[in-house]
Amino acid sequence: MSDEALLSPAANTSLRGSGAPRAADRPRSPRPVRRSRTLLSGSVLGLVPFTAYIILFLALPTVIALVTGFLDGDGAFTLDNLVALGDPVVLSTFGNSLWLSALTAAVGAVVGALFCYALIGTKPTGVLRSVVDAASGVLAQFGGVMLAFAFVATIGIQGMVTVFLRDSLGYDIFANGVWLYDTPGLILPYIYFQVPLMIITFLPALEGLKPQWAEANAMLGGSGLGYWRHVGVPVLLPSFVGCLLLLFANAFSSFATAAALTSQGSQIVPLQIRGALTSETVLGRENLAGSLALGMIVVMVIVMAIYSVLMRRAARWQR
């Protein structure tokens, strides 16, 4: 099952500080408990509120989002909107989203992994780690709109770095036009939340490297480089690629930063969904939001499925 892997330590986004030791995440051996049937059927009722809630606010909206893609303005079944996914405008938007997500995921993964490497050997409860954990959590998950502001203040037309480069070094970063409010402008803000997400998700995997392996390597006369080549990298590779995919999914589904930064245009898919939702018709079609949502879900499901397979592989070494 793919769900198991989502809970693997390396996927433990933002909750690293929440307490229990990693060993506790592992399933315990089942404990046989005898109880009467009537009690059991009574406690089934206890599952009703949560189930109803999930159906109403998670399952139903998801199904509606996907189904409206197959309906025309009058509610009749049509494949028309699906055909619209092949429209050059939509395709180029998906293209933008895909390369933006891939690029920022790659940069974020490499820089984040480097930062994690630098943290090897620091005390998990020390000041440095506490600050890094909290700061990463904030930037990776709660920034959104605020990161857009941060980059307007940094590399906006009157931003601190823009002004510094222009006045002190005579270099105008916007010499070829202002790119901050277009797709290229999203690259830096996205990297700014991708690196912290990589730190949150990859650090547990790096900590899973057992000191005994390094000792065994040294004992057998291996060098530091040899350790990484023959032990570290092979063990960490599934985690690394998994985290890379998670970063990709994160950028692909991100909306707030782009929405706050680009007030017009629909350069990436989430913005196009906004356009379709607010103006009713994009490309002269109704319900395009539904088929765009379907397209996004297809990409997300593929990415997350590969992710969970990789995480299951990675979990082998973390027992």
Using CB under 8 A, which residues numbered 117 to 176 contact another protein? 117-122, 124-125, 128, 130-131, 133-135, 137-139, 141-147, 149-154, 159-161
Applying CB under 8 A, which of residues 104, 290, 310, 311 lies at the interface with another protein?
290
Applying CB under 8 A, which of residues 71, 245, 296, 311 lies at the interface with another protein?
296
Is there binding between residue 286 and another protein (CB under 8 A)?
Answer: no
**Measured distance CA(210)–CA(65) in Å, rounded:** 45
Vertex 8: Cα angle to 48 and 303 (nearest 5):
90
Is there binding between residue 8 and another protein (CB under 8 A)?
Answer: no
- b/e per residue 139-150 (b: at least 16 CB within 10 A): bbeebbeebbbb
**Measured distance CA(316)–CA(27) in Å, rounded:** 14
Is there binding between residue 227 and another protein (CB under 8 A)?
Answer: yes
Distances (CA, A) of 38 to 32, 41, 160, 173: 18, 5, 69, 72
Applying CB under 8 A, which of residues 94, 181, 190, 192 lies at the interface with another protein?
192
Do 137 and 14 meet the contact criterion of CB atoms below 8 Å apart? Answer: yes
Is there binding between residue 62 and another protein (CB under 8 A)?
Answer: yes
Applying CB under 8 A, which of residues 218, 229, 230, 281 lies at the interface with another protein?
218
Is there binding between residue 245 and another protein (CB under 8 A)?
Answer: no
Which of residues 1 and 175 has its CB atom nearest to another protein in the complex?
A: 1
The identity of residue 46, as a single letter, is: G
For residue 177, the minimal CB distance to another protein (Å) is 21
The identity of residue 282, as a single letter, is: V
The identity of residue 200, as a single letter, is: I
For residue 97, the minimal CB distance to another protein (Å) is 11
Is there binding between residue 75 and another protein (CB under 8 A)?
Answer: no
**Measured distance CA(115)–CA(108) in Å, rounded:** 10
